[in-house]
């Protein structure tokens, strides 16, 4: 049954305006933007009468039955989204930080108030990965979900590896093109990928993981030495998030730069594109690829959620509600490349075994096995050290 949608749009930036334009090109959809809430009063492309400046006012508006939240502030977004759900309104959001940090509460609110919250655009922009994990991969054959989840850092790495550009120049370009968030650390230090991975994990294995408990490290410390090392060995460096099923209903997840060989699907994922490899028992590997950022690609995923709400679609959180619970564990080992300069930095890393090492005038490196738990214990200090870490060959022991 299709219902008429009266939309209260919160946020009219890159994605909000993208959605507005995409919606105009989809006349078949019986949806109308009734009001737009923004933060600051200024000249806009639409009449002033369309705008309001209070999210609370908008979620109470009885003419609105769907709130589409597309703002940059995660705390304000949670406030607005929770209030909308409590007011009996369905919600569509693209805010990965807000969703990942409040997922348990958001699931509860949906159940309590019988409303739907959809957020396809929050992970991998235009790629319909969440709904596929929820609906198609709704059995227990899934083994892992691995992907390039952040368009901006991938854009930067592409410029470095494909066009020999420097890190700072590539970051500036990504920001100018609107791929990178205002605070680049969100993208390049792996936070954005982490939030997306937490969301994908809930729909892959049903486990709601606290992002603060997950190992994540980005590309902001990459140096020419690391790039040369990767090139000489035939690798590209990619920022990769992965959740993997282990034995006895356990899962492991982390976001780390990875040395990727040509034979991997994600090797050829360039620029602002995202790519997700879904691995299962019976079907081996499947690959989803598409634009992960930008107003129109993200707007199209929001539009798809709006259409789904029109058909009364809700996430059932099937893995969480109908399968044996998967426990997130921080144990296991991975093989990493560690580039460092000072012995005092190296002292933080307690390698279990070392397979390759190099000492040079500029930098040194070691490749070896290390425990995930030990890396997790120092995760908040990794960015302060003059080091770079990338996963080489992953080996987990349980």
Ligand X SMILES: NC(=O)c1ccc[n+]([C@@H]2O[C@H](COP(=O)([O-])OP(=O)(O)OC[C@H]3O[C@@H](n4cnc5c(N)ncnc54)[C@H](OP(=O)(O)O)[C@@H]3O)[C@@H](O)[C@H]2O)c1
Active site residues: 196
Spatial distance between the Cα atoms of 280 and 80, rounded to a whole number of angstroms: 38
Is the separation of the CB atoms in 252 and 327 below 8 Å? no
Q: Which residue is nearest to ligand X (CB)?
A: 13
Spatial distance between the Cα atoms of 338 and 387, rounded to a whole number of angstroms: 7
Rule CB under 6 A: which of 115-154 touch ligand X?
Answer: 121, 125
- Per-residue CA distances from 114 to 91, 109, 111, 303, 312 (Å): 12, 8, 5, 22, 11
In the complex with ligand X, the residue whose CB is nearer, 197 or 251, is: 197
Say how many C-beta atoms besides its own lie within 10 A of residue 315's C-beta: 21
Which tokens is 372 given?
A: 């995930």
Q: Applying CB under 6 A, does 193 fall inside the site for ligand X?
A: no
Strand pairing class (142-148; 117-118) = unpaired
Q: Applying CB under 6 A, does 200 fall inside the site for ligand X?
A: no
Q: What minimum distance in Å lies between the beta carbon of 61 and ligand X?
A: 14
Strand pairing class (66-69; 353-359) = unpaired
Compose the 257-296 pattern: x for residues touching ligand X by CB under 6 A, - for all others: ------------------------------------xx--
Spatial distance between the Cα atoms of 363 and 345, rounded to a whole number of angstroms: 12
Compose the 81-120 pattern: x for residues touching ligand X by CB under 6 A, - for all others: -------------xxx------------------------
Q: Applying CB under 6 A, does 392 fall inside the site for ligand X?
A: no
Could you tell me which stretch among 11-19, 169-177, 360-368, 378-386 binds ligand X (CB under 6 A)? 11-19
Rule CB under 6 A: which of 292-331 touch ligand X?
Answer: 293-294, 298
In the complex with ligand X, the residue whose CB is nearer, 39 or 394, is: 39
Q: Applying CB under 6 A, does 195 fall inside the site for ligand X?
A: no
Q: Return the sign of the alpha-carbon dihedral for residues 135, 137, 138, 143.
A: negative
Q: What minimum distance in Å lies between the beta carbon of 96 and ligand X?
A: 6
Q: What minimum distance in Å lies between the beta carbon of 105 and ligand X?
A: 17
Say how many C-beta atoms besides its own lie within 10 A of residue 279's C-beta: 18
Q: Applying CB under 6 A, does 10 fall inside the site for ligand X?
A: yes
Which of 8, 16, 147, 332 touches ligand X (CB under 6 A)?
A: 16
Given phi > 0 = left and psi -120 to 50 = alpha, else beta, which region is 335?
Answer: beta
Compose the 35-74 pattern: x for residues touching ligand X by CB under 6 A, - for all others: --xxxx--------------x--------------xxxx-
377 three-class SS? helix
CA 165, distance to chain mean position in Å, is: 25
Q: What minimum distance in Å lies between the beta carbon of 10 and ligand X?
A: 6
Go through the chain and tell me how many residues it has.
Answer: 398
> Which residues lie near ligand X (CB under 6 A)?
10-16, 37-40, 55, 70-73, 76, 94-96, 121, 125, 293-294, 298
């Amino acid at each position: 049954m299709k219902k008429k949608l009266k939309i209260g749009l919160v946020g009219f930036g890159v994605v909000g305006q993208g959605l507005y334009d995409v919606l105009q090109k989809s006349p078949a959809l019986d949806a109308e933007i009734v009001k737009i809430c923004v933060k600051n009063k200024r000249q806009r492309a639409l009449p002033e009468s369309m705008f309001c400046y209070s999210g609370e006012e908008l979620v109470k508006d009885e003419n609105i039955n769907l709130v589409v939240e597309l703002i940059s502030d995660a705390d304000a977004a949670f406030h607005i989204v929770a209030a909308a759900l409590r007011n009996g309104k369905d919600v569509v959001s693209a805010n990965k930080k807000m969703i990942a940090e409040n997922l348990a509460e958001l699931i509860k609110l949906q159940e309590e108030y019988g409303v739907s919250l959809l957020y396809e655009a929050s992970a991998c922009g235009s790629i319909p990965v969440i709904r596929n994990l929820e609906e198609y991969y709704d059995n227990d054959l899934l083994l892992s979900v691995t992907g390039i989840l952040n368009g901006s850092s991938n854009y930067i790495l592409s410029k470095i590896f494909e066009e020999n550009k420097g890190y700072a120049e590539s970051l500036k370009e990504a920001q100018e093109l609107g791929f990178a968030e205002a605070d680049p650390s969100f993208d390049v230090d792996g936070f954005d990928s982490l939030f997306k991975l937490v969301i994908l994990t809930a729909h892959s294995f049903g486990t709601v993981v606290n992002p603060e408990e997950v190992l994540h490290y980005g590309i902001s410390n990459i140096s020419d030495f690391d790039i040369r090392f990767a090139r000489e060995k035939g690798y590209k460096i990619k920022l990769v998030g992965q959740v993997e099923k282990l034995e006895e209903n356990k899962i492991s997840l982390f976001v780390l730069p990875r040395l990727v060989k040509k034979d991997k699907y994600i090797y050829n994922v360039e620029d602002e594109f995202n790519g997700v490899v879904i691995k299962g028992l019976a079907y081996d590997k499947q690959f989803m690829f598409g634009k992960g950022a930008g107003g129109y690609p993200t707007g199209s995923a929001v539009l798809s959620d709006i259409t789904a709400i029109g058909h009364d679609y809700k996430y059932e959180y099937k893995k969480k509600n109908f399968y044996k619970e998967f426990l997130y564990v921080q144990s296991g080992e991975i093989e990493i490349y560690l580039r460092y300069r000072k012995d005092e930095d190296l002292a933080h890393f307690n390698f279990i075994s070392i397979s390759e090492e190099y000492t040079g005038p500029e930098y040194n490196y070691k490749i070896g096995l290390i425990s995930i738990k030990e890396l997790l214990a120092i995760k908040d200090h990794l960015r302060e050290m003059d080091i770079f870490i990338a996963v080489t060959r992953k080996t987990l022991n349980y």
